[in-house]
Amino acid sequence: MRADARSNHERILAAARALFASDGADTQVDAIARRAGVGVGTVYRHFPDKDALMGALVRERFIAFNEQLREAISKGEQQPFAALCEALRANSTALAEDAGTRFAFMRGGERVFAHAHDEVEEYLALTNVLVDRAKRAGSVRPDFDVADVPMLMCGVCATIDAGKGGAGWDWRRHLELVLAGMAAAVAEPSVTSGGTP
Amino acid sequence: MRADARSNHERILAAARALFASDGADTQVDAIARRAGVGVGTVYRHFPDKDALMGALVRERFIAFNEQLREAISKGEQQPFAALCEALRANSTALAEDAGTRFAFMRGGERVFAHAHDEVEEYLALTNVLVDRAKRAGSVRPDFDVADVPMLMCGVCATIDAGKGGAGWDWRRHLELVLAGMAAAVAEPSVTSGGTP
DNA sequence: CTGGATCAGGAATGGTGGTTCCGCTTACGT
DNA sequence: ACGTAAGCGGAACCACCATTCCTGATCCAG
């Protein structure tokens, strides 16, 4: 690969990172090219289409997520629930700065995730370690499942996206409520039935 | 207003109701016109633009929401928390059949909600009755706020939308988790700090 | 230094979908 | 029955964007 090509590849990724992060999937390829200081054609020389470009960034993000998870796993052996919460908070905070990955979580489906298949798989495996540990410690409701985590994160993503819309909106509140719900069953086994204490 | 015009108005609304419900905001105006058996021009004679048409349907939906809330309020005096949960479950179930209103919750912002301002206001007021009651009964965490409800519903909407994407995804689980979180603080005041029991 | 393979640029293409416009049709009061 | 205001249809318009393609520039091996 020629040296100038490699440098352009980086510039394109950097531009896309910045623009997808702030504008999400609406970001136009032309804008990315302009910001990278190259022509549109060059963008398409390096990535087959827009989805692939987004996919590359989503992949990066999941690698970062997995790093955060590994850290939580190694630090939180004594306090499994706290470790799980910390990891999810860290993931969410990162998501708050990355509209592109939020989009992938919510609407991207296979189209974008396909480019990060392995990383997503690892993400689930790592999360499972934390969830399992907390379940064994009895601090997470037994009917909770790892597959619920992306679902909950998807909800948080929506809250972040809509967040500019109104006073009193704070995705952190949403997240804390959800974390509380994960644990609640221990103290309150039959909330599902809707009974008043 | 001429009789045929009134009838067309209804047909357009009905067609839009069906299509927005299943396809969400992607629904094309041409498709609505075709289904209603009229020309596009006629659609635009009755509604200034696509947003106004969606807005009219969102308005209808909120009127239905408010009906559900009033019912929960009158039936649930003895079990405030159960009443609140029932109302939110009913709202969510309706939302699951209405991609248009989900869109409005998540991305529509003022553009769509503007057409249903009064109804949304009433929605918040009625929800507040249920929340307040449950809080006074001590079954909902004291730091909970009515303004959090639309935020949580927004999360549920995202889950519903993404729901076709994977096994193990079930917006009902999401909702129940959130409901549990609303109440959890009573039994577990410091979940936020992340401690293991 | 130079040939040719690699790469870049950006105007042009093509498809999509909201909105407008205007000649024709229809309902309905008199 | 008729005149006219209200209503209708749908082709045409336009803005927007991803993607392509071809000409000219650029690297670097030999």
Tell me the pLDDT tens digit for each residue of B162-178. 987 677 899 999 999 99
CATH topology classification for A1-47: Arc Repressor Mutant, subunit A (1.10.10)
pLDDT at A116: 96
Say yes or no: Cβ of A143 under 7 A from any atom of strand C: no
Burial (CB count within 10 angstroms: exposed 0-12, middle 13-18, buried 19+), residue B146: middle
pLDDT at B191: 38
C-beta separation of B159 from A151 below 8 A: yes
Q: How far apart are CA B191 and CA A34, in angstroms?
A: 47
Tell me the pLDDT tens digit for each residue of B60-90. 999 999 999 999 999 989 999 999 999 999 9
Residues 120-159 of A with CB under 8 A from B: 134, 137-139, 141, 145, 147-148, 150-152, 154-159
- Residue B137: is its pLDDT beyond 70? yes
Say yes or no: Cβ of B5 under 7 A from any atom of strand C: no
The domain defined by B50-186 carries CATH number 1.10.357.10 = yes
B189 touches chain A (CB under 8 A): no
Amino acid at A11: R
Every domain of chain A and the residues it spans: 1-47, 51-187
Tell me the pLDDT tens digit for each residue of B12-21. 999 999 999 9
Q: What is the CATH number of domain A51-187?
A: 1.10.357.10
- Residue B10: is its pLDDT beyond 90? yes
The candidate with the shortest Cα–Cα distance to B12, out of B29, B21, B24, is B29
A196 touches chain B (CB under 8 A): yes
Q: How far apart are CA A91 and CA A71, in angstroms?
A: 12
Burial (CB count within 10 angstroms: exposed 0-12, middle 13-18, buried 19+), residue A25: middle
pLDDT at A21: 98
Residues of chain A with pLDDT under 50: 186-197
Q: How far apart are CA B22 and CA B166, in angstroms?
A: 19
pLDDT at A168: 80
Q: How far apart are CA A122 and CA B25, in angstroms?
A: 34
Q: How far apart are CA A140 and CA A180, in angstroms?
A: 9
pLDDT at A166: 73
First to last CA, chain B: 67
- Only one residue has tokens 């934390």, namely A130
